[in-house]
Structure 1
Amino acid sequence: MLSRAKNPFFDHAEAEYFVAERNGAVAGRIAAIANRLHNEFHADRVGFFGFFETEDDQPVADALLDGAAAWLRGKGLDTMRGPASFSTNDESGVLVDGFDTPPVLMMPHNPPYYLTLLTRAGFARAKDLLVYQHGDSSGRTPPVPERLTRASELLCQRLGITLRPLRMKDFAAEVERVKVLYNKAWERNWGFVPMTDREIDHLAAQFKPVVVPDLVPFVEKDGEVIGFALALPDLNTFFRNNRSGRMFPAILKILWALKTHRVHRCRITLLGVLPEYRGKGIDAVLYHWIWTRGGAIGYGWGEAGWILEDNAAMNAGLVKMGFTVYKTYRLLDRPL
């Protein structure tokens, strides 16, 4: 991920990595990130910091943040935002509540003191990111509300839409369909950064071995994809128990668990609909699909998010379906 030669993020971005040492021992780390694509899209001069890890020590945190800030100023940027590792398409935000629960796949985690260190270093809230949960992780799927099932069926009939799972035998073509949809579906979101074709290809190659087709519904109208969702099995359950840190033979256990439906937790990572079809309830239809299809193969608990704090429609819809906020992440800004 950090390799400038292998990660297509660096086709349009630069990064510099810093570590802080005390008496010869590493006490913290940080990355300073200049993302040209972000600044072209938003017409601003925002730089980012990410991969932020530090001891509970203000001078160490200040040294890391000031080093990253100096590098970003040298790139002509005027605001420092983060943490984002590398962008809002990746792990984003500092955890500000929900410390008593473990992180789900591809979500960050940190001790409570991180927010204090960042606030004392002059950072202020830019945006909160809400994360929802529903169900339990025992494999017992909560019953799907009858009203949600009925509403989904009526919406499909009224809008003339159909849903289907990811076609693994047609995986390359499915990725091409996502490319057409992704940037259009998310471009109006605060902080959005477009993904290039190479970035989507890179991400798809990482997901392919562990993706569950029934957890990736596509919405079609007249044969064209107008929306999709991506829910991934929460493999962090296995990574936490892999004390050696080695992927082999752990990966074999993970693949077998997926095949035999012994993973009971998932994270709804993406859910998007083309702008002209928003506000019609298609997001609820996608959630209903994941709830019913995932529940049928043992997924009894799901995390949804993150969701922007001011995305009123999405937040209200999740609450209406019985989801509850259980974590909050925060992106922070500081002038350079």
Structure 2
Amino acid sequence: MRQIEPQFPDEIGLPANKGKIVAQGEVIITPVSGKSDRKAFIDLTYRLNAGDPAWVPPLRMEAEELITPGKNPFFEHADVQLFLARRGLAVVGRISAHIDHLAIAMPTSQGMGPGTGNWGLLEAEDEAVARALITRAEAWLREQGMTRVLAPLSMSIWEEPGQLIKGFDHSPTVMMGHQPERYNDYILGLDYQLAKTLNCYELDIRPDFPPLIQRIIASGEKNAKIRIRNVDKSKFDAEAALILDILNDAWSDNWGFVPFSESEITYAGKKFKPIVREDLIMIAEYEGEPVAFMMTLPDLNEVLKPMGGKLFPFNWAKLLLWLRKPKVRTMRVPLMGVRKRLQSSRLASQLAFMMIEYIRRNSIRDYGATRSEIGWILEDNQGMNAIAEAIDSHVNKSYAIYDKAL
């Protein structure tokens, strides 16, 4: 698929206002067209969030990659239209509207489904701008035949889903979003309804786990049928394929699930390989068969935050040195999965606790970590929520995904 080109030539770029009488303060929405508009789309987020001490500026090269066909494989199976909001010559807002054809092929009961479009990447100076942008995104989705909107998604469910509703004073960990609290009010003011809450759990990893959990782990260590192993980075492609196979099986019935395309698997592998550490990603085998995995990443955002989104002239060297031997306060667990046939079994919980414990030990010993963030986890995923609560973690961030009939 491709990025949809503007359908209204008179709205393209700043010349659109020539010859028109524009009321002072009026918000004008135009489709993104050309390099200058793309730059404005990216630049805006740095300006509007500069005063938020919890915000982590993304690397500009990654921000550009996200919205560029040919660089982000999401565009291969999605139609995307970006919009800018202006008052006079000033850019005051932005939004993306998109239709993921893999998502609309999923059953409606799983959250996506036929007729469901999305918007995301919202930035707005004020409520009037946000309302105009969301309304325009809805209109574009309606023009493409969509009957429902599920948002915000920036842009895939696997990237930065949801609007932050709890934890505004916490910086986001790697691969998580951070939005101003006022955006939530803007969305609700446009008759959106809560579809799902995604929770992240914070855990102090320094203390030992409760005695019951320690006994469960010890019992598993005595079971000759169970093997917990590190991933083998020398077999990176094969290990990545194995993890994705378990993930697709484990998550296939989950709300919001959208399968990875082959291009996205390759892209994700290339993108995250520099921060993958063998002793932070575990695969659990039972009777010789890989049945579960847990992925943990050092929180790259801790080193990126002071860089302001720029690698040059000197930040690239700092990042390279950090990647050689990361030292972090926080580890993030973005993904964990157990094959479907074992879910809700005692074995599934035991394997999860064993992987968590082994990674906990490695995180403290080798990386100096003191805390972990687990998630996101669906609010109604009873199994994962029970595991998180059993190890004395607590919800520190929540994100809302809303829906609305078009």
**TM-score bracket, shorter-length normalisation:** over 0.9
Q: Please tell me the root mean square deviation across aligned C-alpha atoms, in Å.
A: 1.8
The alpha-carbon deviation at position 166 of structure 1 amounts to 1.6
In structure 1, what is the Cα distance between the partners aligned to 2:330 and 2:150? 31
Residues 1:323 and 2:388 aligned together: no
Task: Please list the CA deviations of residues 291-316 of structure 1 after superposition, one character each: whole Å capped at 9, or x if unmatched.
Answer: 12222212211100111011122112
Match of 1:283 among 348, 352, 356: 352
**Partners of 2:209 and 2:391 within 8 A in 1:** no
| Amino acid in the other structure paired with 2:372 | G
Q: 1:306 to 1:217 in 2, by over 3 A?
A: same
More strand as a share of residues: 1
CA distance in 1, matches of 2:236, 2:319: 21
Alignment partners' CA distance in 2, 1:291 and 1:12: 37
Q: Could you tell me whether the CA contact under 8 Å between 2:74 and 2:156 is conserved in 1?
A: no
Match of 2:302 in 1: 237
1:305 matches 2:367: no
Aligned residue for 2:85, secondary structure, equals strand
Q: In the alignment, residue 321 of structure 1 is paired with which amino acid?
A: I
1:132 aligns with 2:197: no
Q: How does 1:1-336 map to 2 (within 5 A)?
A: 1-42=66-107, 43-55=113-125, 57-135=126-204, 141-158=206-223, 160-243=225-308, 245-246=310-311, 249-279=314-344, 280=347, 281=349, 282-297=351-366, 298-336=368-406
5+ residue gaps, structure 1? none
CA contact (8 A) 2:298 2:326 kept: no
| Shift of residue 155, structure 1, vs aligned partner | 2.9
- The Cα of 1:3 is off from its aligned counterpart by 1.5
Residue 153 of structure 1 and its aligned partner are, at CA, apart by 3.0
- Given that 1:148 and 1:288 are in contact with CA atoms closer than 8 Å, whether structure 2 keeps it comes out as no
CA positional deviation for 1:248: 5.8
Against the structure 1 CA distance between its residues 199 and 60, is the aligned structure 2 distance closer, same or farther, given a 3 Å change threshold?
same
Runs of 4 or more consecutive aligned structure 1 residues displaced over 4 Å after TM superposition:
156-159
Aligned equivalents of 2:326, 2:180: Cα separation in 1: 32
Instruction: Tell me the TM-score normalized by structure 2.
Output: 0.78
Quick one: distance in 2 between partners of 1:163 and 1:251?
35
Shift of the 249–182 alpha-carbon distance from structure 1 to 2, 3 Å rule, reads farther
Deviation at 1:247, TM superposition (A): 5.6
- Identify if the C-alpha distance between structure 1 residues 156 and 278 changes in structure 2 by more than 3 Å, giving closer, same or farther: farther
Q: Which amino acid aligns with 1:183?
A: N
Q: String of CA shifts for 1:172-231, please: whole Å, max 9, x gaps.
A: 211121232221111111111111122111011100011121111111224332111111
Q: Residue 273 and residue 14 in structure 1: after superposition, are their counterparts in 2 closer, same or farther (change >3 A)?
A: same
- Offset at 1:278? 1.5
* Residues 242, 332 of structure 1: alpha-carbon distance in 2 compared, 3 angstrom cutoff: same
Higher Rg of the two aligned structures:
2
Please identify, of 297-306 and 247-256, the stretch whose mean Cα deviation from structure 2 is larger.
Answer: 247-256
- Do the aligned residues in 2 keep the contact of 1:83 with 1:331 (CA within 8 Å)? yes
Q: 1:252 to 1:150 in 2, by over 3 A?
A: farther
TM-score by length of 1: 0.93
Structure with the larger RCO, 1 or 2 (CA within 8 Å, 6+ apart): 1
- 2:46 maps to which residue? none
Mark the CA change 1:44 to 1:285 in structure 2 (over 3 Å): closer, same or farther.
farther
Partner SS, residue 38 of structure 1 = coil
Q: Which amino acid aligns with 1:34?
A: I
Question: What's the secondary structure of 1:129's corresponding residue?
Answer: strand
Q: Which moved more, 1:143-152 or 1:195-204?
A: 143-152
- Residue 25 of structure 1: how far off its partner (Å): 1.1
Aligned residues: 331
- Partner AA of 2:331 in structure 1: C
Partner SS for 1:209: helix
Distance 1:119 1:111 in 2: 14
Instruction: Check the 8 A contact 1:235/1:254 in 2, yes or no.
Output: no
3-state SS of the aligned residue for 1:291? helix
Unpaired segments ≥5 residues, structure 2 = 1-65, 108-112
- Per-residue deviation, 1:264: 2.4
